[in-house]
Each structure stands twice: as C-alpha cells, then as structure tokens.
Structure 1
C-alpha cells in the first residue's frame, strides 16, 4: 500500500510517499512561505518521484497536532480534500510522535517540544522501544519549569528536538545539566517521511478513518476561542 504523508503543523512543510515500510520520495521546505503555497506542488512532485500515480495512493496520513493552528488547518484541509477525492482512508498522526520516530531506535528518553507561544511548549515524553516511540506522558501545553519537573521522574539523558529548542535550549541545559541532549539539526524538524511511515504502520494495524471524521489535536484553545469564551462569560 502506498501512503502519502503530509506535515504542516509547524513552519516546516513536509510530504512523502511510503510503501511497505520504505520511503520512496520525500520533500521538505523550511522557507517560511505559507503551506497553502508549498503543499500541493510538493505533493504532486513526490507522487511523480515515487514513480506512481495519484490513483495508487491507498491512504493519506497527516499531522493532526499539536502545532500551529493555521498550519494544522491547512494540512488537514489539504489531506481531507485529497482523501475524499481519491476515496481513501485518512490517518491522523501526532506531530510529536512523528518527531520522536527517527530517534526511537535506542531505549532513551525523547522529548519533542514545539513553540506554543505564551512562554509554553507543546511537549510529550517518549521512550525509544524497538524503533517505535513509546508514549510516557503528554501531549501537554506547559512551561519549561513544569516540563523539567515532569522529566524528573525518569533517569538518564533526555534528547530534545523540535522548533522550540533554539529558544529554550539554554534554560533546559541550565535546569537539567548534562541530562539535556540536543538532537542533531537534521533531526530537529518534523519530516513528511516520518508521517508517511507512521501512517503506513497504522494502516497495517487497521487504522484510518473516513476523511470527515478526523479532528485536529489542538491541546489548548486558540486565541480567538479564548476571547470568544471571555466575552461569553461576561
């Protein structure tokens, strides 16, 4: 089965095609252009580069959050439209799990963090387990001090990755000392290949839903929803 993976929950746009556990084609763009501009040309390109036609796609996997509200909406709308057009299942994949996947070959603590603004990060804690990220905690929206407290319950080094690392690296290293390990830059950003691989795995285990049934995992309310709730409470 061919699975198209779409990553748009962060400033990075990533797409890939996977089949039988192999990544056939992948593209990643971190040029700050909007995902509405980047995604469709990238999708067309990876399908062609994989040597298949759109009609051979058996499922679409998409990053379902947490992440940027705008990016999630664009990614999910694109994925839902394509899945409906091709009449194939849609698979939601955690942005944080997709980040953790490339580092999951060793039994280590992995902590992907995404910038949630307002001095918070979206985070989850995983342990590598036979190439599969094992979720230990999260996903959560919390401050760095809260995250450090959460991490105290596990021993050993913690590998951090994600777009919030540059902003909070110094604070993490100050609080955790040598326990804080930063992933290589090539592993810091979410990849369409990870989305496609996890989507393929989920499809093989009976995953996938009709396109209109998949909802985003925002973790917390958007700014507009907060303001609307505040007005309603007056």
Structure 2
C-alpha cells in the first residue's frame, strides 16, 4: 500500500453473524475493535456502538476516509442491519462505501490471527470459512494463504452448501493437483460447533486417499478489524460501491420467497393460474 492508503481511517461494521463486529482502523493501527454477542439483537445496539467507538477514539465523521461493510452471506435479517446503517452513513457523511465478503473477512481474520502457527512450510494453506446455515448447511468459500509472500487468493465463490457435500468437493479438489501444488494444510475456521464431525471426516478421507495434509479445526469469531483490512484493500485499488444500489449477498431465497414460489408452481401445475390468494 502507498503511505496515504496505509494511514486511511476506516470504520468497519458487520452484523451477519451472532457477533456484532465494529472496528475503527487507521492503516495498520487498530484504534478500537468491538465484538458484541447480543443474541443477534443487532438492530438495538448497532448505531449506539458506532457512536460509542467514534466518541471513544475522538474521531469525527468528517475525518473518515471510508466505511467498510460486511455484506454477508449470513443471517438474512442480521446482515441487512449493517448494510442499512452503512448505506445511510455513507450518504449522510458523504464517505466512500466498500462492501466486503463476510466469509472472506472471517477466513482472513482467522489467518491473520494464527498465521504464525503455520510455521515455515513451503506450500500454502487452504482456508475454509464456515458459518452455520442450519439443516446441515453452511455458508462457505475457499481461499489460499501463503505466509511467505503474504498472498491471499480466492479459490471458490461464496455460497451455501451442504457441509457433507462440501467436504467431498474439497477432497476431489485435492486429488486433482500435482503434489507440489498441494496445500500444506487445510484450516476449517469459524462456526464449528455443529460441523466438527465433517471436519474430522475430511481428515479421514484425506488419509484414506493417501493425501498427507493436516486438517485443522479453528473456531473463530468474526472481527471488525478484518472487515476493515479488506475494505482498505478495496479503497487502495480505487474501488467503492454505490450507496444507493448496494445490497447484501443473500446467497439464497428467504423462506417466504421459497413458499411463494412453491405455491405459484403448484397453482400452475393445477392449471389455476392467476394471483395467489
């Protein structure tokens, strides 16, 4: 990053998980980072936490260089709160708005917090962030990290997947490359409480396939500082989002939308047509 970018002052906010994450970051310096486990009651606390963090750090809105918002995927209602607050503040304060993947922030934060544990391995590490999406599903993606050059690369897009099928997909991806291109380890990071068995199954499948890779389970709670770090990268590249058209990454239809589609399809099959009653 250039010197001006390293010193950019960014307010970061994410409400896609059970943890309300908010941070104020100036370049590489974290001025304050707050995590509030408020049982997903983010609508009550978000604005007051933003006000508090600015006041505690003695920062006025006009001093900000940008606002970074986690856009999901995650809790349907939760992530809308950060997006709505971010859009409003961007418009009122006339500040650039940059959205970042909440999954990427989860994975990036876990890697930054524990990269030293990777040692001096030549190969990279695959980072698999997961958020529980119920019914055996997870919001997930795949990233590759390298502690030597500091590279961070996305290998698959965000999505909602059955954890069982995702494990099988990861094993198939591992079977494809030549040995020298294999990662030295796979880290499953994030909300592991309901998915440890599948992480263990990944290790077992790797062993049975003769793939000598450690599968590490790393519980991790999303932090505002990682949202800010990814936001700073986007700002450094001259990117920003339109505050008026910016929307969360829902990844799937809401339950109400699914039911409406099912009802409409059933009416069409019955030959009734028209608007649902």
Settle same-fold status: TM greater than 0.5: yes
Q: CA deviation at 1:162?
A: 1.4
1: CA distance between counterparts of 2:108 and 2:150? 7
Q: Which runs of 5+ in 1 are unaligned?
A: none
Q: Which runs of 5+ in 2 are unaligned?
A: 1-7, 119-123, 175-181, 205-212, 268-277
Taking the TM superposition and a 5 Å limit, the aligned residue runs for 1:208-227 are 208-227=240-259
Q: Which has the higher contact order (CA 8 A, sep 6+)?
A: 1
Asked if residue 52 in structure 1 is aligned to residue 87 in structure 2, the reply is: no
Q: So what's the TM-score if we normalise by structure 2?
A: 0.78
Q: CA deviation at 1:148?
A: 0.8
Counterpart residue number, 1:150: 169
CA contact (8 A) 1:8 1:63 kept: yes
2: CA distance between counterparts of 1:231 and 1:176? 42
CA shift digits 1:26-49 (9 cap, x unpaired): 111113151011211211122123
Paired residue for 1:161, among 175, 185, 189? 189
SS in 1 for 2:247: coil
2: CA distance between counterparts of 1:138 and 1:176? 23
Q: CA RMSD in A?
A: 1.7
Equivalent residue pairs, number: 230
Q: CA deviation at 1:133?
A: 3.0
Counterpart residue number, 2:260: 228
Counterpart residue number, 1:91: 98
Counterpart residue number, 2:78: 71
Counterpart residue number, 1:180: 215
SS in 2 for 1:226: helix
Q: CA deviation at 1:21?
A: 3.0
Counterpart residue number, 1:123: 140
Identify the range of structure 1 (61-70 vs 171-180) with the bigger mean alpha-carbon deviation: 171-180
Q: CA deviation at 1:157?
A: 2.4
Counterpart residue number, 2:4: none
1: CA distance between counterparts of 2:263 and 2:96? 39
Q: So what's the TM-score if we normalise by structure 1?
A: 0.91
SS in 2 for 1:32: coil
